A and B are shown apart, each in its own frame.
Chain A
């Protein structure tokens, strides 16, 4: 089955800095890669996603890049703000299967 590795497990940055979270996947048939933000005591919220036919996608301060050959994808957050502090999960999906999640990254943005 699919295996998703996510790094780092914790990330501390100063407000205004950039944050990068990286994930690798094992199943070359995976073709959809979402990122979720989970605040304490809440369910995960879909913040951005990318399909395998696209190399990069951006939405305001958030961007995701995908390298199919290397089977890795990354989340980039620029100009971080304290409200970006949360746990971020990457995931990989292939047709007729379920989402496989990474173990999560706790992002702490200090004012």
Chain B
């Protein structure tokens, strides 16, 4: 299957700082990438759809100014959690879909802990 690389796998930061998470499709081009958030023992919650070369589409209730998404190329999307607070602590997962293919492949996730 296609490979999606996500970094870092784990990050600890102080409250008020910003954290950037990278998501790369290694062996295919992805015009669309997705960012999810997952709480312990819960399902995946879609945060936003990242479109290459255009603005991301955010799900209802997700603060676009707090969760900045940039999809600068067909293989890279980044999620920046700005002014992080303890309530932002969570497992963040990206995914990518090869163009015109329903199959969705996930990165390995990033565990964010805000102190």
Mark A residues whose CB is within 8 Å of B.
Answer: 32, 34, 36, 41-46, 49, 89, 93, 98-99, 101-104, 106
9 CB < 8 A contacts A-B: A32-B102, A42-B109, A43-B95, A44-B93, A44-B106, A46-B103, A46-B106, A93-B104, A98-B46
Residues in A neighbouring B43, C-beta threshold 8 A: 89, 101-104
Is B6 in the interface zone, CB < 8 Å from A? yes
Residues in B neighbouring A34, C-beta threshold 8 A: 102-104
Whose C-beta in chain B lies nearest to the C-beta of A95? B102
Residues in A neighbouring B107, C-beta threshold 8 A: 43
Report the minimal beta-carbon distance from A57 to chain B, rounded to whole angstroms.
14
Mark B residues whose CB is within 8 Å of A.
Answer: 1, 4, 6, 34, 41-44, 46, 49, 91, 93, 95, 102-109, 111
Is A43's CB under 8 angstroms from B46's CB? no
Residues in B neighbouring A103, C-beta threshold 8 A: 42-43
Q: Which of B1, B49, B109 contacts A43 (CB 8 A)?
A: B109
Residues in A neighbouring B105, C-beta threshold 8 A: 46
- C-alpha spacing A104/B49, complex, angstroms: 22
- C-alpha spacing A38/B56, complex, angstroms: 26
Whose C-beta in chain B lies nearest to the C-beta of A31? B102
- C-alpha spacing A38/B96, complex, angstroms: 16
- C-alpha spacing A91/B49, complex, angstroms: 17
Residues in A neighbouring B6, C-beta threshold 8 A: 43
Is A98's CB under 8 angstroms from B34's CB? yes
Is A36's CB under 8 angstroms from B106's CB? yes
Q: Which of B44, B104, B111 contacts A46 (CB 8 A)?
A: B104
Report the minimal beta-carbon distance from B115 to chain A, rounded to whole angstroms.
19
Residues in A neighbouring B104, C-beta threshold 8 A: 34, 46, 93, 99
